[in-house]
Structure 1
């Protein structure tokens, strides 16, 4: 019980660090340049509180349940030594873990003209297929850079034939899918599978699963655009009700709660059923380990319900309203620096970014300090959000940003240590965390409505822009590290399979 309490306090601090900066910026804007009614402000504050509590329980549940489930299932899959079993299980796992991803559900609720179920199933199918490719890459030691180059060539080839209404949504799907539910499970799955290989590159190849799985949703939505012809594609602006009193405010949230309780129960049920069957047939975990995982699943369920309730009822509508009001100002271009400030603090506050920066610091033996990397990521994401806001105001095609960005990222992959390429592409979904889908995207959509732009082509793409930034930044840091290493004649260190590093004795030393 003491362990759970300590973990809960740790996750609460991480959630507060993620949400409080955004709350501070919103309150500052509301009391300076954006006049806001008390009802909207109260709904936002209550939504933010639910968001913090939901993220806290969800993060703890993912750590207690998703990570151990992924490691055990991955290890058990490889012990069968039957390729067809691994392929079938890989697809099923990728599919069912994706449909429970909260960031994907938030995105699906905001996409006009495409039914939520259609988009979610298409994205889940894409993740399932590409998880198979990722597992095959690990088993056969295929270089990650070759696979990334091959599949992104196909992605951009498809993009030229797909209706423009699907482009930004497709690239956003790749960013939101690698979220707080999917990443811990898939990373743990990679660690479990890497144990079957004893060569010195097995640790390096345990990274990169998330990188490939983020391509699947992009390709799936692009293919959906070739065959799916939606009707009634008009975007319906978010309506924020004027709340008369505290009772109505309470009813606004309590009325939405049963909907999300049922929605999350349906989403998590396939995971529970799959793991139950796996436990009976193969795993046979001890009673203590099983109870711990079940407690984690309960935390995950409660966290997701509170998270989605707070987001959809209070947080997202306020972000949308704020975007509309700022874009209505005579000096509407102020939304670009405001978006950059929000982008800077969103990345600074992401708990996963902290883990990533510490990982790279230890990987490079402090040659690249975590603080330098964190500030570099924050500045680069701030710039990408600024460019995204420029797109909202001007309607510039996302192609002008995505194609050069990915061309640079893929080009760098052939010149930097491969571990940096794997971490960089894995971290694309890390930067585009819950705050991006729940606040930045509605913020951009509200501004787009006000300036009379096209929501699907101009507002969507914010998540994709944020997810693209780490691909370049981390690889540039890897290039700097390689140059420093050559100058000082230091050996390159590569990470072990585990994401937790104890000492330099855990590393394999490879001479350049």
Structure 2
């Protein structure tokens, strides 16, 4: 019991540190240049409380359940199963998890003229196929950089032939389908597969699954863009709530709870069923271990329900209204620095980011510190939100930023350690989570609406930008790490050579 109390206390502190800066920024803006109606401010503050508690439960739950489940299933599959069976199960897992991802349902509503289930099934097939590709790469130790160049080249060619309104949404889809629930399980599955290998590159190849799985949705939406030609591509934003009293405030959240209770149950079911089948047929874990995992699943479920309710109901209206107010100021260019500050802090509130940092620190035995990685992610996301605000103000096509960004990221992959490349491309999918979709995207949409821009072309794409810049930031961290390591090794070699010139008397005197 003391263990759980200690861990809950630690996770609560992490959640408070992550969410408090966002609360402070919103309050500062609301009391100065962007006044917010009391109803929206109360929604935001109540949502922030749910966010903090939900994040606490989720991060502990992922640590107790998702990570060990994924590692044990991955190790067992790689050790005991035929290759064809492994690939079929990987496709099935990627497919069913993606279909039940809540953020994908939101995306489907926003893509014009494509039936919802057509889009969802296509994206799910894309994720399933690329999870198979990722596992094959891991089992046969193939270069991640080569695969990324090949598949992103196909993406680049397709963007030349699809309607412009599909481009930003296609790149956004790569971020929303790698949600906070599936990321920990899929990453741990990769670590389990890599554990079977004994070569020196196994550790490096344990990352990279999320990066490849993020390509599937992009290709799926672009391919659908070739088949569907929308007539009316206008996007009508959801009207902002107007709450009169505290009872109405509670009703606003209470009406949303059943929806998220159902959504998260449906989303969590495929992973639990998949693990349950393995437990019955093959794993045979001890009762104590199984009990711990079940507690973790319950924590994960509670955490995600609270987190997503707080984010969607409380943060979305505040983000949209702030964007409108700031864009209507005479000095609307202030959107850029404000967006960068929000981006710097908001990535710390992404629940899956902590899971990634913990796994990176664990698998590298602390050689890649979580704090350094967190700072790199924050700087990368700050830059991406700044660029997104430039797009909102100017209407510049997302391709002018996405294409050079991915070219730079792929070029860097040839000069930094392999593990940094894999972690960097995974971190892009992790950073563009529910906080980006429920606060930054409405912020951009509100600003775009106030300016009179095209919301589908100019506001959408911010998720894609948030997913791209960490690729560069983390690899720059890798280059710095490599330089320091080589400098330290060179210094040690010089010191050793110098000591070799000393005589015994000199050493004794020293």
Under a length normalisation based on structure 2, what TM-score does the superposition of the two structures give? 0.89
Moved more, 473-482 or 195-204: 473-482
Contact 2:183–2:352, Cα closer than 8 Å, also in 1: no
> Which residue in 1 is equivalent to 2:141?
141
Shift of 1:403: 0.4
> Which residue in 1 is equivalent to 2:157?
157
What pairs up with 1:14-413 in 2 under 5 angstroms?
14-105=14-105, 107-108=107-108, 117-229=117-229, 233-347=233-347, 374-413=374-413
Change (3 A) 1:230 1:325: same
Contact 2:181–2:268, Cα closer than 8 Å, also in 1: no
Q: Per the alignment, in what secondary structure is the counterpart of residue 195 of structure 1?
A: helix
Deviation readout 1:423-452 (Å, 9 max, x if unpaired):
211221233343222211110011111111
Contact 2:15–2:52, Cα closer than 8 Å, also in 1: yes
Deviation readout 1:221-264 (Å, 9 max, x if unpaired):
22222224456543222212221222111111112222222222
Q: Per the alignment, in what secondary structure is the counterpart of residue 59 of structure 2?
A: helix
> Which residue in 2 is equivalent to 1:461?
461
Moved more, 163-172 or 442-451: 163-172
Contact 1:102–1:308, Cα closer than 8 Å, also in 2: no
Measured in 1, the distance between the counterparts of 2:473 and 2:58 equals 29
Shift of 1:291: 2.2
Deviation readout 1:23-77 (Å, 9 max, x if unpaired):
1111111111112221111111111212222222222222222111111111111
Shift of 1:178: 3.0
Shift of 1:105: 5.0
Q: Which runs of 5+ in 2 are unaligned?
A: 493-510
Moved more, 369-378 or 325-334: 369-378
Under a length normalisation based on structure 1, what TM-score does the superposition of the two structures give? 0.88
Contact 1:320–1:443, Cα closer than 8 Å, also in 2: yes
Shift of 1:407: 0.4
Measured in 1, the distance between the counterparts of 2:79 and 2:102 equals 32
The CA RMSD over aligned residues, in Å, is: 2.7
Change (3 A) 1:401 1:142: same
- Which has more radius of gyration? 2
Measured in 1, the distance between the counterparts of 2:10 and 2:225 equals 42
Shift of 1:109: 5.8
Deviation readout 1:200-225 (Å, 9 max, x if unpaired):
22122112122211212211222222
Shift of 1:491: 11
Moved more, 55-64 or 368-377: 368-377
Measured in 2, the distance between the counterparts of 1:15 and 1:246 equals 25
Measured in 2, the distance between the counterparts of 1:376 and 1:64 equals 27
Shift of 1:346: 2.0
Shift of 1:17: 2.1
Measured in 1, the distance between the counterparts of 2:482 and 2:157 equals 33
Contact 1:67–1:184, Cα closer than 8 Å, also in 2: yes
How many equivalent pairs are there?
Answer: 492
Contact 1:264–1:305, Cα closer than 8 Å, also in 2: yes
Measured in 1, the distance between the counterparts of 2:215 and 2:232 equals 28
Moved more, 386-395 or 225-234: 225-234
Change (3 A) 1:298 1:491: farther
Moved more, 324-333 or 280-289: 280-289
Q: Which runs of 5+ in 1 are unaligned?
A: 493-512
Q: Per the alignment, in what secondary structure is the counterpart of residue 235 of structure 1?
A: coil
Change (3 A) 1:65 1:468: same
Measured in 1, the distance between the counterparts of 2:174 and 2:58 equals 21
